[in-house]
Structure 1
Amino acid sequence: MATQELIISPSLPPYPQMIMEAIDALKQAEGANKSSISKYMESKYGEMPPGHAELLSNHLTRMKDIGELLFIKNNYLKPGPDAPLKRGRGRPPKPKEPLPPGATPASPRPRGRPRKDPNAPPAPKKPKPPSAAPSISKTGRPRGRPRKVNPQPFQTGVEA
């Protein structure tokens, strides 16, 4: 994308530089939105390359993701010097305690199931108990859901 940008407009500075310049020049406490940044860039640099809106959106998104810009209430602004660092997803790792001098770090525990010993004798196979029928379990009932029983018509004791 940068090579296309240079071929299309060699006289323009890089987009991140133009974006930062626009945010500084607009001097709004709540930040500047995308349209005001674009208007400033067009007024200062004149004709913008084709696909300017898409390029601006991509650069603003990338700068927001890496923490160069903050996005608050649809406005972009520079983070202050006392702004908190942007955290990644998930729970932050626990702080590690420093090792005492002269101690060697413990090797991490291997992941997964331990491998079998290739020199170990094979385990004896368990004998299966003989069963009367393969579909009947120890309780004497067959496996699975019982079959439906056809209902018998109800007969009353009164005859006419």
Structure 2
Amino acid sequence: MATEELSKPPSLPPYPQMIMEALDALKQTEGSNKSSISKFMESKYGEMPAGHADLLTTHLTAMKDYGDLLLVKNNYLKPGPDAPLKRGRGSPPKPKEPMLEGTNPDLSTPRGHPKKDPNAPPAPKKLKPPHAGPPSVSQTGRPRGRPRKVNNPQVVQNGVEV
């Protein structure tokens, strides 16, 4: 049996690095679209792995979301020096107020509810105000809700239960 040597593709650099190289080499002022980036990568690195188009799309989207690239009219370009700062997910942090001179940050008020004073007298009980809702048992003589089910009703002559 003859052993055939399978030709392994040369190890490729990470996709973000290849994308940045492509943008640097193409030097288009309005940016480069996905197909031109892909063509450059194929011409420089030769055979690309299976699923190259999906991998490229995934990495371009991730780099755009992280702020490494800008997407303008379906063209990707590097952000300029005056571009907004990159930040992760979530809302930006609130600006901190400057501490006054002579204050110790360790002695600031703690978070949460203040602790109860163990020496304070107990609070007086609150009286309930008269109920303004539907009438209660004491007012009508009947309990609230549906009446209980009677297992053995006794029928009188008129057909009324007793």
TM-score when normalising by structure 2: 0.60
- Which of 127, 133, 136 is matched with 1:134 structurally? 136
SS at 2:55's partner residue?
A: helix
Of residues 19-28 and 73-82 in structure 1, the stretch that sits farther from structure 2 once superposed is: 73-82
What are the equivalent positions in structure 2 for 1:9-158 lying under 5 Å apart? 11-86=11-86, 90=91, 93-94=94-95, 96-97=97-98, 99-100=100-101, 102-105=102-105, 107=108, 109-111=110-112, 121=122, 123-124=124-125, 126=127, 129=130, 133-134=135-136
Provide Cα deviations, 1:59-116, integer angstroms capped at 9, x if missing partner.
Answer: 111111222111111111011223222466656633532543x5312535524x5676
Provide Cα deviations, 1:137-158, integer angstroms capped at 9, x if missing partner.
Answer: 9xxxxxxxxxxxxxxxxxxxxx
Q: Which amino acid aligns with 1:103?
A: T
Moved over 6 A (4+): 115-120
Change (3 A) 1:96 1:116: closer
Give % identity: 61
Alpha-carbon distance, 1:12 to partner: 0.9
Alpha-carbon distance, 1:43 to partner: 1.4
CA RMSD in angstroms, aligned pairs only? 3.5
Alpha-carbon distance, 1:32 to partner: 0.6
Alpha-carbon distance between aligned partners in 2 of 1:28 and 1:66, rounded to the nearest angstrom: 22
Alpha-carbon distance between aligned partners in 2 of 1:66 and 1:108, rounded to the nearest angstrom: 37
Q: Which amino acid aligns with 2:65?
A: D
* Structure 1: runs of 5 or more not aligned: 1-7, 138-160
SS at 1:17's partner residue?
A: helix
Alpha-carbon distance, 1:129 to partner: 4.3
* Structure 2: runs of 5 or more not aligned: 1-7, 140-162
Alpha-carbon distance, 1:14 to partner: 1.0
Kindly indicate whether structure 1 or structure 2 has the higher relative contact order, using CA contacts under 8 Å at least 6 residues apart.
Answer: 1
Q: Which amino acid aligns with 1:134?
A: S
Alpha-carbon distance between aligned partners in 1 of 2:75 and 2:36, rounded to the nearest angstrom: 10
